[in-house]
Chains A and B, each alone.
Chain A
Amino acid sequence: MAPRSSAPLPPLSIDPTALLSDAISFSGSYPVTIGSNTVLHPRSKFNSTDGPIIIGSNCIISEKTQLIAPGVDGLVLEDFVLVEVNCHIQAARIGEGSSIEVGVKVGKASRIGNNCTLSPLSTIPDGTNLPDFTVIYGENDRRIDTSDTVTARNETLLAHIDCLQKLLPNKAEKYTR
């Protein structure tokens, strides 16, 4: 399914090494930047109506996930961010090496630190500032991750991206006019 020709795409700047699958929906008028080696799954949604969206390198954005820029300052996803299926993200910033797991809702203009983990179905209220290495688990409980597994996780993420690049057909040219 091609993106609707009726609605014009926002200005996109896509790194040539990024992998964009079919049927990604871009809406809004602010620019969307996608970094190198990043994988966008089909049916992920990017809404840049209120501000720009900047996605770093080596990220994965999964299906049915919505990234909505909360304001003019935009939504910034730093490098090595894994966003799983069905998330709803309106954060201002998501730090490096964070993983946002299935069905997480990140409230408006919240800032997630580096190397955070939001476990499935957790909710982050609007305007929250999460310090680095925070783990949200269980009933929105928090703890600080001291496991020192960042490098290992980034390595797995790279392997994940590697695998996806082999499996997913790249339709990036559809979005680059």
Chain B
Amino acid sequence: MDISIGVLDCCILEALWHSRLPKSFNLILEDRPQTRVGHPTSSNYHFTMSASFPYIHISCPCNEERPQIMAVDSARPLSPTKSPTKRDFAVPVPSTPLTPVKRRLFPGTSSFDGTVATSGDADGERNDEEDDEDEENNFDPHDQRAAFSLFPIENLLYCEDCHQIRCPRCVTDEIVCWYCPSCLFEVPSSTVKSDGNRCTRNCYLCPICTALLVVIPVNHIPSSSSAAEQQQGPFNLFCSHCHWTTSDLSPPLQLEKPTSISAQLAKVTPSAHDAEFNRLKQHYAQQLGNAQEDFTNSPAALTRLMGLYTGLGAGGSGHAGGRKGRGVKKLEMKEIDRPREVVEEREMEIVEQMAKLGIHATTNTKQRLNQPHEPRFLSELRPTAVLLRTKRSKRCRACRHILVKPESKVQTTRFRIRLVALNYIPSLTIKRLDPSIQLSSLVPHKTHRFLLTVTNPLFDPISVSLLTPRYTPGTDYPSRVTILCPEFDVGANTDVWDDALMSTRTPAPVPTPPPQGNKDPRMATVYEQKRNYTSVVIEVVPAEIPDTRVARIRDERLLEIPIFVRVEFEAEVDREDEEGGGGGTSSTSGKHGAPGSSGGGGNPLGREKVEYSYWCVVGVGRVGDPVEGVVASEPNTPVRTPVATPVKAPRTPGVSKTPLRQQVRA
């Protein structure tokens, strides 16, 4: 490298050199779909999403029900002893959404009762016009807001008191403890406040490759020598991954003892930056002390505090001619206002050093950002102490009940409480019926068949209705979607051995009841039914969609199907618990009937009909370019249907904001 290269050029060169994308970058992207949290726009996740098809994300009720949550929150102080029950949620909330989103304008947002759903079944023969109108109520996965409430089921929790799914946005975190991930020592919160969020023991990371450093003697001691000899220094910190040692620093850093490294390092490596930081810290501590003593009677103190940041304080008063009446000591740092000086000699030194040592001796961005003072050369890197981690418990934002509580002991990974949604709501999975389907390029106009499997985690058999708009909403190029069997039963999540043992003794009980006679033949089209899961066929005919990824932010070709899942089952419920909450409000929601107090007293266990529902989004794949020979045709011809005659998915119920539980005396 030529010595005439300026500082700027060096920086650019450096940046270029280090800007190679790490290999793991793609892997990170592939992982992203699992954590859909915090994507500001749906476009973002659409881009990252395309890595892994198919995926199923479940919409947290916070997408729709923010007003309700607020109602509960405000109601909370009135009855601090009782937990809000389902009735609190069943109270008809006038639909005044916080933000006017189109699909929130439901025609009737009164309490959800079974009639709405059955009416949906009854007029299954609706015409397309009405369906279009119906789309107003459909969940639009392309909606920008939707991206914030869609999560894979693994990320969701379930509040047993609200009977609601809770996404990471609907819970509050509380830190149970701080600990060092490498030495697994718990750090008390007072120490965290005083000493910062890094391990103060002997855990240090390699500044080059971020592996853990170990202490080794500088001079090799043969293993045959005695223990006393092995305790003799000096010692190095050594990275067993990239073989970096503290001797590589300039000047070489060697420790006298193999223990209490933090103290030794602090002594050995004082820097100008540290000194400056300490001065600043002292300065602000002093300011704070002064402010506290005269806050009570002087508004000047407040102005002065403000002035600290705006530059109108004492530092500014010097050249502004001084404001009178400021009886405040001049403690402010003069350096704050001053522009940072660039010493030319020092910069030239850097350039020369770069020219001499070459680009390999400079730090890359990652390394530089990990260090407190952004060093330019590898020889200036210092071991970094391990960042502490926390264990957190999570509370429901609405009812403040704890949803997740880990053991406070650092070494155990168990949880005391862990109400994950996987144990409460049926999970959906989707797979190709025909393995030749390319999920990343679905053929327009071709009928793709997928197998949608609903798995029941509950110990009661459930009946499930899957409702989906006939055409995918929220896009100009709707694809046709048909669930061949939208209503079916899923067996209870019994012990695996139960079935086997049952079959030897009494062959009679089938895990799921046979379809009732009064239902129509669509019940017969269940593709596969096993112990606690049922599979049905879903047909997708993608539309021909132009590739808009370049022109627009969002990927029109991404085929996401919203499915409304409604689950009904009869559960044994602790009646005492149920009555305690909502005896008074039961009259407001008509369907509940009167839960007679006579029944409640003697019989603690009652059966009640529970019903809940949620939206989920199935990302089946990405529509590819049209293929010649495959033309638009009427899908679902019975010839091509392997299982039975297809049926149209019934209309999505007009109300998607359902109270999560309905109670009917069994």
Q: Which residues of A approach B to under 8 Å, CB–CB?
A: 117, 119, 135, 137-143, 145-149, 151-152, 155, 159
Contact = CB atoms under 8 A, between A and B. Distances in A.
Contacts of A117: 242-243
Contacts of A139: 20, 22-24
A155 B222 contact: yes
Interface string B229-262: 0000000101001111101100000000000000
Contact of B23 (A135, A140, A151): A140
Interface of B: 20, 22-24, 208-209, 216, 220, 222-223, 236, 238, 241-245, 247-248, 360
Contact of A149 (B22, B220, B241, B248): B220
B216 A152 contact: yes
B247 A147 contact: yes
B220 A147 contact: no
B216 A143 contact: no
B22 A152 contact: no
B220 to A, nearest CB: 5
Contacts of B22: 138-139
A146 B245 contact: yes
Given A140-B23, A152-B216, A155-B223, A146 B238 contact: no
B243 A147 contact: yes
Nearest to B245: A147
A135 B222 contact: no
A168 B107 CA distance: 76
A75 to B, nearest CB: 25
A91 to B, nearest CB: 20
| In the A-B complex, the 8 residue pairs with the closest CB atoms | A137-B242, A145-B243, A147-B245, A139-B22, A147-B243, A151-B220, A139-B23, A152-B220
B23 A149 contact: no
A150 B209 CA distance: 20
A126 to B, nearest CB: 18
B232 to A, nearest CB: 15
A133 to B, nearest CB: 8
Nearest to A143: B242
B381 to A, nearest CB: 12
Given A143-B208, A147-B245, 14 more contacts: A135-B243, A137-B241, A138-B22, A139-B22, A141-B242, A143-B360, A147-B243, A147-B247, A147-B248, A148-B220, A149-B243, A151-B220, A155-B223, A159-B223
Nearest to B238: A147
B635 to A, nearest CB: 46
Given A119-B241, A139-B22, A139-B24, A146 B248 contact: yes
Contacts of A146: 245, 247-248
In the complex, which of the residues A138, A141, A151, A155 has the most CB atoms of chain B within 10 Å of its own CB atom?
A138
Contacts of B244: 143, 147
A116 to B, nearest CB: 10
14 contacts: A119-B241, A135-B242, A135-B243, A137-B209, A138-B22, A139-B24, A143-B242, A146-B247, A147-B238, A147-B244, A147-B245, A148-B220, A148-B247, A149-B243
A141 B209 CA distance: 9
A52 B208 CA distance: 39
Nearest to A137: B242
A135 B247 CA distance: 16
Contact of B238 (A119, A137, A143, A149): A149
B209 A149 contact: no
A148 B234 CA distance: 14
In the complex, which of the residues B208, B238, B242, B248 has the most CB atoms of chain A within 10 Å of its own CB atom?
B242
Nearest to A150: B220
Contacts of B216: 149, 152
B243 A138 contact: no
A147 B236 CA distance: 9
A155 B24 CA distance: 34
A147 to B, nearest CB: 4
Contacts of B222: 155
In the complex, which of the residues B20, B208, B243 has the most CB atoms of chain A within 10 Å of its own CB atom?
B243
A39 B408 CA distance: 45
A135 B245 CA distance: 13
Contacts of A135: 242-243
A86 to B, nearest CB: 18
B218 to A, nearest CB: 8
Contacts of B242: 117, 119, 135, 137-138, 141, 143
B180 to A, nearest CB: 23
A152 B243 CA distance: 13
A117 B220 CA distance: 19
A142 B361 CA distance: 11
In the complex, which of the residues A117, A139, A147, A155 has the most CB atoms of chain B within 10 Å of its own CB atom?
A147
B425 to A, nearest CB: 38
Contact of B209 (A138, A147, A152, A155): A138
A135 B236 CA distance: 18
B654 to A, nearest CB: 54
A145 to B, nearest CB: 4
Contacts of B241: 119, 137
A155 B225 CA distance: 13
Contacts of A159: 223
A138 B519 CA distance: 62
B580 to A, nearest CB: 57
Contacts of A140: 23
A138 B209 CA distance: 7
A17 to B, nearest CB: 21
A143 B244 CA distance: 9
A141 B222 CA distance: 31
A30 to B, nearest CB: 35
